[in-house]
Structure 1
Amino acid sequence: MTSAHSCALATSLVVSLCFGLPMATAQPLSPVPRDVVQFSATATVEARQDQLSVTLRSTREGSDPLGVQEQLKAQLEAALVVARANAQPGAMEVRSGNFSLYPRAGRDGRISAWQGSAELVLSGRDFERIAATTGRIQGLTVAAVVFGLSGELRERLEQQAQAQAIERFRARAGEIARGFGFGSYTLREVGINSQEQGGMVRPRVMALEARSSAAEAPLPLEAGQAQVQVTVSGSVQLK
């Protein structure tokens, strides 16, 4: 094979390989957003708490676990009889809470006693009914009192706060556009977040001492204020 023929063969081989390779396609670059502003607006609506939950608890201790369990069951059943007689849908709901039984070890590491507890929960909107029923139940002490907002009230407050937050967001967007010398704006993206303060997010809980079983006095209660806060955050395109 002559050198000229070899050169021609090599040239044809290189060309065929070049044509066999896929050609890279250029990807268009995404335009960098310009004249885009990010900010947020918040609105808060306040209302008096209309939901109450009272937890009553009985504790027993003894050497026989079955005996302790039976004592707790009897105490809880007696309390349920009183509570159910005063229950009313929406005003006061009655349910059993935690029921636990566990051993206690002595210095030698062996089980020396058994301790248990049973809970009864009264919840609803009728504070006077719940307070009076709590005073009638014997043998159980008040473990916790929690105030909050009912689902209906919270939803209504959230709608009010959301409408205010959206209006504030729109007003601020217009102010920002005019401040930068633009005539208007368009909404690019938006997010809405809500939370309750003073209610279920941060519940008001009080631990109370045991009441006299003979007094049958209503539990003193005073609800506080709760806030529903809505924040609208997002970005707008200035035009």
Structure 2
Amino acid sequence: MCLIAWNWQPHSATPLLLLANRDEFYARPALPLHWWAPDANGAQILAGKDVQGGGTWLGLSRTGRLAALTNFRSAEPQRTNTPSRGELVAGFLHSDLPAHAYLQQLARHCADYNPFNLLVFDGQQLMGLESRGAKVLHHTPGLGAVSNADFHTPWPKLTQLQNGLAAQPPASGAAGLRHYLPLLQDRSLVPDAALPNTGVPLELERVLSAVFIATPGYGTRACSVLALHQDHAEFLEQSLGPQGLLGEIEERFALQRAEFT
């Protein structure tokens, strides 16, 4: 997952609305959005699955727990002997720990993984973890976003998606969550003068500057829109490949217990 924007309004009819794009190599196998088999405690999560690592980039539990992950971009090569970062998302969704406790526990082990940002919501708190400094963040209500740098780093595509979410009227009628998909599908490139400097070659920095990435071997593999309401959740995901749309799945379900107050 490489770009996430959200609007957290705790006391509204829709406490949390989240938009996200997952960017990955097309050759890395993945399963689209589906209900995973219940774990030993009977907990069940709705998420895509990274077949290679066994984890996921974005998911939601039946009780309204949410987690999402981005990597941290730098010129340093990724270590090949580390656990999959996707297991951190699944781990939170299967856990019953409060967000703060889960992240504090995980912060002690950040060095075991390649750099990442983890966003979690336990029904009460929206929090984040920046692994490079083992920094736990309490997000305040309102708009927020993260890409492949620290939370809220104002990369042009992050600012564009966050501002687009702010300007978009709430979804209604038959369009539902699909109303927000155009925000995730913008392929506009950023002028060179506005590009971040992450240590990768300029040509690569250019193609990665778009909200929606499309190159021959790497690109946006999933566009997701997720809404947590007071008593139910909605999750829409489009799966994509090098030739375009592969499929679309939309799930709507009642939350199993009251998570919002």
Give the TM-score, by structure 2 length.
0.18
Q: Is the helix fraction higher in 1 or 2?
A: 1
Does 1 or 2 have the higher relative contact order (CA < 8 Å, sep 6+)? Answer: 1
Larger of the two Rg values belongs to structure: 1
Give the TM-score, by structure 1 length.
0.20
